[in-house]
């Protein structure tokens, strides 16, 4: 991973009129000057950083491939901390291929995945969690994911974790000093201070780990499974939500045989709506397979919309309420915290849907919503209800939200090691306490990259695309 040669890659995405080819490394100026002929006889080598140069990208025989603008960065004031150029050419696949080929002929090497960002990390331009956030910010698809990535990229995690690490480091040093004194009965680390600090850190780690459920949901898209008996109106609801005809609507029970997933942005958060095949007993193989996938989608969903067909409910409010509860029991969505009950077809139902919903409130975790999926009445209220079930606004507070699985795992293991450290302190074993605290320090260090290995780095950066 640690090389000092000069690397090159296309950094801009596909499509568009212009392309940006990036090169980084010591030989950058020299290589660029061999390939780009400046109109005014200037060179990258003699140019200052943060300037631009205009010229032609040329073949070995002097023929012109394209005209180009070269942005010049001088170490350490660049993304990678090395000398860098960004060559802008027209976005023709031929021009891009020839320009990169010419730069390679002139001495550059084709960059591997994530190599520019890896160099930025190794040069100390950013820590590991910030480097990972670069990939997240490029992948961000709504206000919430952008906010999470942007905050992490600006060092949100790092401040929090380095603060914790710094204080623990001091404690570990004190304990280790005691151990150095061996037989002598000295106590440098004040035990009650140690206990207080460890409790405080455990609480901090706990608050970080508990934010992961929300962080992950936002990053992956909040899964909303629409479940209910066949014909309850699941496909119709999905179509109304999306204003198109993605799901197949028909009067024949069991039409939706597969799981259909669609994305919808509500208040800046990406929700993944999953229309599941109706859950009911069936001998049809295809339907059974669809139902199996439905069960899985339900298991993994953050929110379950339990859709009840209002036209199947009796007129009496009390009886209708019991009938809804029966359906909920059947689809396994009774007391589940994730469950939001939706009574559909209220435009034609014989019962008083609102009165039934009101009666249900006493026994349900969230107020039931009444709609007509067909006409769209009540659908806005339903969206508000869905949005309220995910406390997405929490990510905009001062607290840091963990969204990376790697970070979460390190935090969980750190919490375990810290719990052991606290136990060992209680049984007066400074050796074991010191060892456990070291483990906590190492684990926290892997998040920001203060403690790392080639293996961790290549795992992280290989997931990037080339040119990042
Ligand atoms: P699914 O099997 O749960 O996906 O149900 P569909 O979405 O295919 O709907 C079954 C039938 O109910 C279709 O004929 C829909 O037009 C009808 N339907 C769905 N929602 C409503 C509604 O709110 N009001 C009325 N009147 N009919 C509806």
Q: What share of the chain is helix, strand, coil (3-state, %, to 5)?
A: 45, 15, 35
Q: What is the pLDDT along the chain (468 residues), one digit of tens a residue?
A: 557 899 999 999 878 999 999 999 999 999 999 999 998 889 999 999 999 999 999 999 999 999 999 999 999 999 999 999 999 999 999 999 999 999 999 999 999 999 999 999 999 999 999 999 999 999 998 999 999 999 999 888 788 888 888 888 888 888 888 887 766 667 777 788 888 889 989 998 998 999 998 999 999 899 999 988 889 999 899 989 887 545 445 455 544 445 678 889 888 889 999 887 655 556 666 666 666 776 777 888 999 999 999 999 999 999 999 999 999 988 777 778 899 999 999 999 999 999 999 999 989 989 999 999 999 999 999 999 999 888 888 888 877 899 999 999 999 999 999 999 999 888 877 888 889 999 999 999 999 888 888 888 888 888 888 888
Alpha helices in 331-402 (DSSP H): 353-360, 379-389
Same domain, 333 and 424: no
Report pLDDT digits (tens) over 147-170: 999 999 988 878 888 888 888 888
78, 106, 125 — which closes off a domain? 125
- Give the range of the structural domain holding residue 362, as residue numbers without chain letter: 220-394
Same domain, 46 and 100: yes
The answer to whether residue 454 sits within a structural domain is no
Indicate the burial class of 245 (C-beta count within 10 angstroms; 0-12, 13-18, 19 or more): exposed
Same domain, 246 and 143: no
Count helices and strands in the chain by DSSP H and E runs: 16, 13
Same domain, 198 and 258: no
CA neighbor of 139 nearest in space, from 55, 218, 210:
218
Q: Given the CA of residue 372, which atom of ligand 1 is nearest to it?
A: 23
Give the span between the Cα atoms of 105 and 246, in whole angstroms: 50
Which residues touch 97 (CB under 8 Å, ≥6 apart)? none
Same domain, 389 and 406: no
| Candidate from 227, 242, 249 with most ligand 1 atoms within 8 A of CB, to mutate | 249
CA neighbor of 82 nearest in space, from 67, 70, 94, 72:
72
The answer to whether residue 409 sits within a structural domain is yes
| Candidate from 226, 232, 233 with most ligand 1 atoms within 8 A of CB, to mutate | 233
Same domain, 271 and 253: yes
Give the span between the Cα atoms of 446 and 410, in whole angstroms: 7
Parallel/antiparallel/unpaired status of strands 84-90 and 64-73: antiparallel
Give the span between the Cα atoms of 241 and 261, in whole angstroms: 12
The answer to whether residue 457 sits within a structural domain is no
Same domain, 113 and 140: no
**What's the domain count of the chain?**
3
The answer to whether residue 2 sits within a structural domain is no
Return the CATH number at 185: 1.20.120.430
Same domain, 369 and 247: yes
Map residue 10 onto helix, strand or coil. strand
Give residue 290's pLDDT: 64
The answer to whether residue 429 sits within a structural domain is yes
Same domain, 233 and 358: yes
Residue 448, both tokens: 């920001």
**278 DSSP assignment:** P
- How many angstroms separate the first and last alpha carbons of the chain? 15
Give residue 391's pLDDT: 82
The secondary structure element, H or E, covering residue 73 is: strand 64-73
Beta carbon of 254 within 6 Å of any ligand 1 atom = no
pTM score:
0.79
Return the CATH number at 59: 3.30.1360.120
The answer to whether residue 336 sits within a structural domain is yes
Cα 77 to ligand 1 centre (Å): 61
Same domain, 91 and 233: no
The answer to whether residue 410 sits within a structural domain is yes
102, 125, 148 — which closes off a domain? 125
Give residue 191's pLDDT: 82
Which residues touch 421 (CB under 8 Å, ≥6 apart)? 198, 432, 433, 436, 437, 440
The answer to whether the CB of 202 falls within 8 A of the CB of 419 is yes
Cα 284 to ligand 1 centre (Å): 22
Return the CATH number at 260: 3.40.50.300
Same domain, 275 and 420: no
Same domain, 293 and 384: yes
Beta carbon of 278 within 6 Å of any ligand 1 atom = yes
Give residue 257's pLDDT: 46
Number of Cβ within 10 Å of residue 61's Cβ equals 5
Beta carbon of 250 within 6 Å of any ligand 1 atom = yes
370, 394, 418 — which closes off a domain? 394
The answer to whether the CB of 165 falls within 8 A of the CB of 382 is no
Beta carbon of 345 within 6 Å of any ligand 1 atom = yes
Beta carbon of 231 within 6 Å of any ligand 1 atom = yes
The answer to whether residue 460 sits within a structural domain is no
């Amino acid at each position: 991973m640690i090389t000092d040669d000069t690397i090159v890659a296309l950094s801009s995405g596909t499509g568009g009129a212009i392309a940006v080819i990036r090169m980084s490394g010591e030989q950058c100026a020299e290589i660029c000057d061999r390939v780009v002929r400046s109109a005014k006889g200037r060179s990258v080598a003699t140019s200052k950083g943060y300037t631009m140069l205009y010229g032609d990208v040329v073949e070995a025989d002097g023929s012109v491939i394209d005209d180009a603008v070269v942005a010049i960065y001088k170490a350490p004031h660049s993304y990678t901390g090395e000398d860098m150029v960004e060559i802008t050419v027209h976005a023709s696949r031929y021009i891009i291929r020839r320009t990169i080929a010419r730069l390679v002929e002139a001495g550059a090497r084709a960059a591997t995945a994530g190599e520019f960002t890896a160099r930025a990390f190794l040069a100390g331009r950013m820590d590991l969690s910030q480097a990972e956030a670069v990939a997240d910010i490029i992948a961000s698809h709504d206000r919430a994911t952008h906010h999470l990535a942007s905050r992490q990229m600006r060092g949100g995690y790092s401040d929090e974790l380095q603060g914790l690490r710094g204080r623990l480091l001091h404690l570990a040093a004190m304990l280790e000093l005691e151990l150095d004194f061996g037989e002598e009965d000295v106590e440098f680390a004040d035990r009650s201070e140690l206990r207080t600090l460890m409790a405080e850190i455990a609480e901090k780690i706990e608050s970080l780990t508990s934010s992961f459920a929300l962080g992950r949901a936002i990053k992956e898209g909040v899964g909303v499974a629409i479940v209910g008996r066949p014909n309850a109106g699941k496909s119709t609801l999905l179509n109304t939500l999306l204003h198109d005809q993605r799901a197949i609507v028909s009067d024949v029970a069991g039409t939706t045989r597969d799981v259909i997933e669609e994305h919808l942005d509500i208040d800046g958060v990406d929700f993944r709506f999953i229309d599941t095949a109706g859950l009911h007993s069936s001998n049809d193989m295809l339907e059974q397979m669809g139902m199996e996938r439905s069960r899985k989608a339900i298991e993994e969903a953050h929110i379950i919309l339990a859709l009840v067909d209002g036209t199947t409910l009796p007129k009496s409010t009390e009886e209708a309420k019991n009938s809804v509860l029966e359906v909920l029991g059947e689809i396994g969505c009774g007391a589940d915290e994730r469950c939001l009950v939706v009574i559909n077809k209220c435009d034609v139902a014989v019962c008083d849907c609102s009165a039934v919903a009101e009666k249900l409130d006493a026994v349900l975790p969230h107020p039931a919503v009444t709609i007509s999926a067909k006409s769209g009445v009540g659908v806005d209220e339903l969206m508000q209800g869905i949005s309220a079930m995910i406390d997405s606004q929490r990510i905009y507070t001062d607290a840091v939200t963990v969204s990376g699985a790697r970070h979460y795992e390190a935090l969980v293991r750190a919490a375990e090691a810290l719990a052991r450290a606290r136990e060992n302190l209680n049984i007066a074993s400074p050796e074991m306490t010191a060892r456990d605290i070291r483990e906590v320090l190492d684990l926290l260090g892997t998040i920001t990259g203060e403690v790392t290995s080639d293996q961790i780095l290549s795992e992280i950066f290989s997931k990037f695309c080339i040119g990042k």
